[in-house]
Amino acid sequence: MKAKNQRLTLLLLALGASLGAALLAMSALRDQAAYFYAPADIARKGVPVDRAVRIGGMVKDKSIVRAADGITIDFVVGDETPATIPVRFTGIAPDLFKENSGVVAEGKFRPDGRFVATEILAKHDENYMPPQLAGDKHKSGTLK
Amino acid sequence: MIAELGLAALWIAATLSLMQLAFGGFALRADGEALLRTVRPVAVAQAVLVGIAFLCLILVFLRTDLSVALVASNSHSAKPFVYKFAGVWGNHEGSMLLWVTVLAIAGAAVALFERKLPQRTLIATLAAQAAIGLGFYAFLLFASNPFERLSPAPVQGNGLNPLLQDPGLAFHPPTLYFGYVGISIAFSFAVGALITRDVGANFARAMRPWVLAAWIFLTLGITAGSYWAYYELGWGGWWFWDPVENASLMPWLAATALLHSVTVLATRDALRAWTVMLAVVAFSMSMVGTFLVRSGILTSVHSFAVDPQRGFFILILLSLYIGGALMLFGLRVGTVREGATFEPVSREGALVANNLLLSTILGIVLVGTLYPLGVEAVTGEKLSVGPPYFNSAAGPVALALVAVMAAGPLARWRKDKAKAVLSRIAVPVLIAALALLGLMLFAPGLRILPLLGIVLAVGAGAASVAPLWKRNLRRTPLFTYGMVVAHLGIAVCLAGMASESAFTKETLVAATPGQTASVGPYQIRFDAVDPIAGPNWTANEATLTARRGSGAPFVMRPQSRMFSAPPTETSEAAIATRLDGQLYTVLGKSDEQGRWQLRLWWKPFVTLIWLGGSMIALGGLLSLIGRVRRGRREVAE
């Protein structure tokens, strides 16, 4: 093969690979990207069933209920609107998970509207605020 | 005084980098021999001065000089010594100073030790390195001054994020930076060679040891970071596809591709333009990573402060350097002649496949990392892209890459026959088939990726030692051993990942002292929880007695720690390492009935992941030593 042709072949291969990567990535993203919902979004758009999503908001005062098994908790997430999301989580909640504090949870909605969290995202320290939540609170002007 | 000295040293270093760039530029233009000779000493002096600045910052931290704003907001007089020291880079400004220090040291190392590169190309390389440095000096001095004073000085500092208060902080960031920023050398080499139109086999031979060195550090840094996250976070995971992790993985993927293409260029003088392109891409990925981590657009333990001005600054630097290098590439690529040709079935062919697959994975990771940012910028909609995406998109490509890695070293340079390659790899394929059969019989119902992962790891492990087969082991060059060890490391690492994903057992219970739980082959008795105290924290410590079958019982003590400054809780997992895996225990919270949450994992062969990672780095080191030695001999002759 002549050098020029070989260079062209390699260039086409490289283009093909990056195109393939982009296509593969895009199709996987459509299935796998987890969208973020605040309680108000759920109230407005309805419940996205059977899809990995993230929800975020404030844990409502006196809403944390521990189940008899000692590892399952139920709580309610709210935001500045009256909308709320009931959440169930089985596992060890992060250290700074508490009532009247911000939370972001990952999981799926059940058809009845309850959110089953597979993970509660850890807040790393007192100053840490999940960016989604910080953004929302900046908007509503409640961030101290 | 020390802070002012540091700031002055930093300004002088910045001026020196401007001189390095200007002298280098003029020397190349006017062909002034006198100026050519000044560039090397200036590069060394610049590194010395920025080193002094860095030492000053260390001193300020060790003395907990609270009149320095950075110390006040990130340190505390009650902090243990090692974290006062390592805390220097546990914050935005300090870590950027480390970044620039590594950049300058890398440049000085080239100025001192590079002997193969023609002088004009070397000067162009040093000028390019200075150009990068200049932008980041500006960033430090104008947007992230680490030596800023605070008046009046506070009585006490804010302390360091407790997650960072771990010996890992002393090791992981500097190692990672030496790799991450060290790869700038490849970038500068590429720019230098494009400027002097000097892309060829000699250029590749000169560049290879530098790429190898940076790549070794990067590999070690990522491996260490993965293990640190694994034991410190208490989540039992070793890789989270966190954007910050991806920011370190992307330069590694590009550098790995570069390492292989530079071998083709050095050995066979093929893939000229492609290799130069990869060198540009590799450091571009480092800068993209720096932008993602340091701009504050991501929130993680790595991004210390949110300041839009800083993000904008880095974004401008990034566009300037990447854009500039790509433009130079576009202008000069026509002058890079085509290299030698080769047949599809050949060592070169396999290395091209390696490069294409690595680039594909890089593309997938890049898209997944940037997509949420892009979507939010365009539509305002928030979303996250996590492990399901990365595993399902990048996993299959990575497995294909391992298959190519197994076969590639068994193909001859230039031209080979498919049949011949197949016959050389027949034994490893047979071993892999036996592994598949064994897994289907004894561990039915495995998911497809872990199953293929284990099978491929076994086959690739066997194939990676095949290049030594029937060779005189004493006369085999050291760099061949390097390749064998690194490839074996990949197989070992893959085996660990697949085993962890396929066989991990997890138990989550709420238990009162005296109760017993089981996980995998272990029986674990929960004995007690006691309060204990450390230098700047208090903790609840559980006492667990674990026992495997009728073996000797042993005690594990996971803790839940409360730090005083800043007030934060962390959980310290207790991990018992055995030959065939790790037992990983975490203490959770207590409830009103006096029960404590316990999370227990048995992770068979999980340690292979980091063993493999270390082997990959060791393989790189062997290659580096082998290459440098041979290079010396060639120069001597």
- The 10s digit of each residue's pLDDT in B391-433 is 989 999 999 999 999 999 999 998 899 899 999 999 999 999 9
Q: What's residue A137's pLDDT?
A: 38
C-alpha distances in Å from residue B132, one per residue of B44, B104, B216, B333, B451: 16, 10, 22, 22, 45
CB of A24 within 8 Å of a chain B CB? The answer is: yes
Does B299 contact A129 at a Cβ distance shorter than 8 Å? yes
- Which of B78-92, B232-246, B369-383, B548-562: highest mean pLDDT? B548-562
DSSP symbol at B512? -
Find residues 45-74 of chain A whose CB sits inside 8 Å of chain B.
52, 54, 66, 69-71
Higher pLDDT, B173 or B487: B487
Per-residue model confidence (pLDDT) at position A102: 80
Position B303 scores a pLDDT of 52
Half-sphere exposure of B479 (CA within 13 A, CB side): 16
- Per-residue pLDDT band at A144 (split at 50, 70, 90): very low
Q: Which residue type is seen at B149? A: R
pLDDT digits (tens, 9 = 90+) for B96-123: 999 999 999 999 999 999 988 998 899 9
Instruction: Out of A17, A70, A135, name the one closest to residue B359 (CB).
Output: A17
User: pLDDT tens across B163-208, in order?
Assistant: 778 888 888 889 999 999 999 999 999 999 999 998 889 999 999 9
- DSSP label at residue B572: E
Higher pLDDT, A70 or B480: B480
Q: Decide if B508 touches A, using CB distance below 8 A.
A: yes
Q: Which of B187-196, B369-378, B528-537, B555-564 has the highest mean pLDDT?
A: B187-196
Digit-coded pLDDT (tens) for B597-634: 999 999 999 999 999 999 999 999 999 999 998 888 87
Give how far Cα B28 sits from Cα of B8, B44, B154, B230, B520, Å.
Answer: 30, 19, 52, 50, 67
Distance from CA of B613 to the nearest CA of A (A): 25
Contact B563, B535 (CB under 8 A): no
Question: Which one of A14, A26, A54 has the shortest CB-CB distance to B356?
Answer: A14
Residue A21 has its nearest CB partner, among B360, B388, B599, at: B360
Lowest mean pLDDT segment, chosen from A25-29, B38-42, B187-191, B232-236? B232-236
Most B CBs within 10 A among A2, A27, A123, A124, hence the mutation to make, goes to: A124
Residues 277-316 of B with CB under 8 A from A: 297-301
Give me the residue from B384, B588, B595 closest to A54, CB to CB: B384
Q: What are the chain A neighbours of B360 within 8 Å (beta carbons)?
A: 17-18, 20-21, 24
Residue A140 pLDDT greater than 70, yes or no: no
Residues of B in contact with A134 (CB under 8 A): 299
Contact B383 A36 (CB under 8 A): yes
The candidate with the shortest Cα–Cα distance to B321, out of B368, B293, B287, B364, is B287
Percent of chain B with pLDDT over 70: 97
Helix (H), strand (E) at residue B511: strand B505-511
Is 70 exceeded by the pLDDT of residue A135?
A: no
- Phi and psi dihedrals of B514, rounded to 5? 105, -25
- A with B: how many residue pairs have Cβ under 8 Å apart? 150
Using one digit for the tens of pLDDT, what is the confidence trace for A89-122?
Answer: 988 887 678 888 788 888 999 888 899 998 887 5
Question: Of all helices (H) and strands (E), which one includes residue B522?
Answer: strand B522-533
- Separation of first and last alpha carbons in chain B: 53
Q: What is the mean pLDDT of residues B274-288?
A: 94
Mean pLDDT over A21-36 rounds to 84
Q: What is the pLDDT of residue B539?
A: 93
Q: What is the pLDDT of residue B31?
A: 65
Chain A residues lying within 8 Å of B511, measured CB to CB: 70
Chain A CB within 8 Å of residue B334 CB: no
pLDDT number for residue A138: 36
pLDDT of residue B338: 76
Residue A114 Cα, gap to closest chain B Cα (Å): 20
Which amino acid makes up residue B628? V
Please, which residues 109-168 of chain B have a Cβ atom closer than 8 Å to chain A? 161-163
Could A25 and B368 be called an inter-chain contact, meaning their C-beta atoms sit closer than 8 Å? yes
**Comparing B522 with A55, which gets the higher pLDDT?**
B522
Which chain B positions have a beta carbon within 8 Å of A66's beta carbon? 591-592
Residues of B in contact with A130 (CB under 8 A): 299
Comparing CA positions, the residue from A106, A109, A139 lying closest to residue A122 is A106
Nearest Cα residue in chain B from A68: B510
Residues of B in contact with A91 (CB under 8 A): 508, 599
**Which of A29, A89, A99 is the best substitution to test chain B (most B C-beta atoms within 10 A)?**
A29
For residue B302, what pLDDT is reported?
57
Select the residue from B76, B389, B597 to test the A interface by mutation, using most A Cβ atoms within 10 A. Answer: B389
- Report CB contact under 8 Å: A10, B384: no
Task: Decide: B531 and B538 in contact? Cβ < 8 Å.
Answer: yes
Chain A stretch 88-127, residues whose beta carbon is closer than 8 A to a beta carbon of chain B: 90-93, 95-96, 106, 122, 124-127
Query: Nearest 5 degrees, angle CA B113-CA B114-CA B118?
Result: 150
* Residue B432 · residue B458 · CB < 8 Å: yes
Mean pLDDT, rounded, of chain B: 90
Specify the pLDDT at position A16. Answer: 86
Cβ of residue B384 closer than 8 Å to a chain A Cβ = yes
Chain B partners within 8 Å of A31 (Cβ)? 388-389, 392
pLDDT digits (tens, 9 = 90+) for B128-162: 999 999 999 999 999 889 999 988 888 888 888 77
Rounded average pLDDT over B560-568: 79
Binary contact (A126, B339; C-beta < 8 A): no
Q: Do A25 and B271 touch (CB under 8 A)?
A: no
Alpha-carbon distance B208 to nearest alpha carbon in chain A (angstroms): 22
DSSP secondary structure code for residue B149 in this structure: B
Sort out which chain A residues have CB atoms less than 8 A from B538's CB and list them. Answer: none
Map residue B537 onto helix, strand or coil.
strand
**What length does chain B have?**
637
Is the pLDDT higher at B371 or at A1? B371
| 3-state helix/strand/coil string of chain A | CCHHHHHHHHHHHHHHHHHHHHHHHHHHHHHHCEEEECHHHHHHHCCCECCCEEEEEEECCCCCEECCCCCEEEEEEECCCCCEEEEEEECCCCCCCCCCCEEEEEEEECCCCCEEEEEECCCCCCCCCCHHHHHHHHHHCCCC
Given an 8 Å threshold on Cβ–Cβ distance, is B359 in contact with A4? Answer: no
For residues B457 and B453, give the distance between their C-alpha atoms in angstroms, rounded to a whole number. Answer: 6
pLDDT level of residue A134 (50, 70, 90 thresholds): very low
Q: Do B371 and A29 touch (CB under 8 A)?
A: yes
Q: Per the CB < 8 Å rule, is A125 touching B162?
A: yes
Q: What is the pLDDT of residue A132?
A: 44
Q: Is the pLDDT of residue A142 over 50?
A: no
Could you tell me which of B566, B427, B581, B610 has the C-alpha nearest to residue B502? B581
Distance (Å, whole) CA B359 – CA B179: 19
Most confident of the following: A47-51, B21-25, B334-338, B489-493: B489-493
pTM, whole model, 2 decimals?
Answer: 0.92
A7, A19, A41: best to mutate for the B interface, most B CBs within 10 A = A7
Q: Residue B242: helix, strand or coil by DSSP?
A: coil
Rounded to 5 degrees, φ, ψ at B556 are -125, 140
Q: Tell which of B337, B348, B383 to mutate to test the A interface (max A CBs under 10 Å).
A: B383
Q: Do the chains contact at A125 and B566, CB–CB below 8 Å? A: yes
Chain A residues within an 8 Å CB radius of B389 = 28-29, 31-33
Contact B568 A25 (CB under 8 A): no
Pairing mode of beta strands B537-548, B559-563: antiparallel
